[in-house]
Structure 1
Amino acid sequence: MPTPKAPDRGPLARTLSAAGRARRLPRASWGALARVLPMLLVVRIALWALPYRTVVRLFEPSAGGAASADKVPPQQASALLRTVAWAGRTLLADRPCLTQAIAGRWLLARKGYPSTLRLGVRRDEDGIGAHAWLEVDGRIVLGGGDSSVVYSPFRPARRRDEVQDALAAEER
């Protein structure tokens, strides 16, 4: 016999539960959480209110980013991504992957790590599913290590100026 689904406790109960779990985090994680939470909320609101392309452009890491000398140690970058994943799962009950990936990409760039936002799709007995994840140097760092296997990745979108440059080169 299938187990009954737990009733939805409502947004206030989920928020209070998340606050209780956040209090139990090590104090060292609170600084990262203070940087991550506002970013996740701003990205989530932007995705709700604006078209996807606009949101991606708004949160496009600057071309310069942090200088490689300003790069934080990989352990700090990993801790930041763990905080993004935890906060996204805990606070964004439904479909947190795109919000996490956009916020994580912007936060990583500020720490000196360029990353690639990837989107993929899969089809199964439940229909079609989509997923977003983040890669650094071709390695998945946020969104599940098997994302590129389970989901068929879309090709990375080319920026308009790159497309125009490619077309101009073909005309020569």
Structure 2
Amino acid sequence: MGKSGQFIKRWKSLSYDGKVIFLKSAVCLLLIKTGLTLLPFLQFRRLFHRITETSTVKEVSPQQIELTVWAVDTAANLLPFELLCLPRALAAKYLLRKVPSLTLEIGIEVNPAKHFEAHAWVENNGTVIMGKWPESVSYHRLWAWK
């Protein structure tokens, strides 16, 4: 079964709320890709900070977090343009913005034999939930976007 077949099977098994989370993920990724493409990064960062800033804290179940991560990754893989780690991490951060323990991390690979390589990932209480990498790779954290 190919990617689209797996997606259709999973889509059919999703609850109404799960389908809404998937659709929100797709729209969020489109808007983030557009913002990153059209705006200087500093301006995008300020705008993103403003729209993700919230005084409301919400308990979100591990299943809801897992579903959101799946939805963002799956939507990113199905959309007809490249969405690498940063837009995916930003979308997850936005959709889960009321979870106080969530941070978006940006780092660089620690490997002198390679060219500069950056990576973005999302952590929940110090555990990577989006943007995981193989154990053979090591990233040095440069910035945490809380």
TM-score by length of 2: 0.76
Q: Distance in 1 between matches of 2:5 and 2:106?
A: 33
Q: 2:45 corresponds to which residue?
A: 56
Q: 1:121 corresponds to which residue?
A: 108
Q: Distance in 2 between matches of 1:25 and 1:124?
A: 41
Q: Distance in 1 between matches of 2:132 and 2:113?
A: 21
Q: How many percent of aligned residue pairs carry the same amino acid? A: 26
Q: 2:119 corresponds to which residue?
A: 131
Deviations 1:16-75 (A, max 9, x none): x9766643433314322111100000001100111223222222222313x33xx33221
* Counterpart residue type for residue 75 of structure 2: A
Q: How does 1:13-28 map to 2 (within 5 A)?
A: 22-27=7-12, 28=14
Q: CA RMSD in A?
A: 2.8
The structure number with the bigger radius of gyration is 1
Matched positions, count = 136
State the secondary structure of the residue aligned to 1:152: strand
Matched, 1:87 2:75: yes
Deviations 1:99-154 (A, max 9, x none): 01111101001xx313211111124544111110011221111110558x622110
Q: Distance in 2 between matches of 1:132 and 1:50?
A: 19
Matched, 1:104 2:92: yes
* Counterpart residue type for residue 90 of structure 2: I
Q: How does 1:153-164 map to 2 (within 5 A)?
A: 153-156=141-144
* Counterpart residue type for residue 37 of structure 2: W
TM-score by length of 1: 0.66
For structure 1, the 5+ residue unaligned runs are 1-16, 159-172
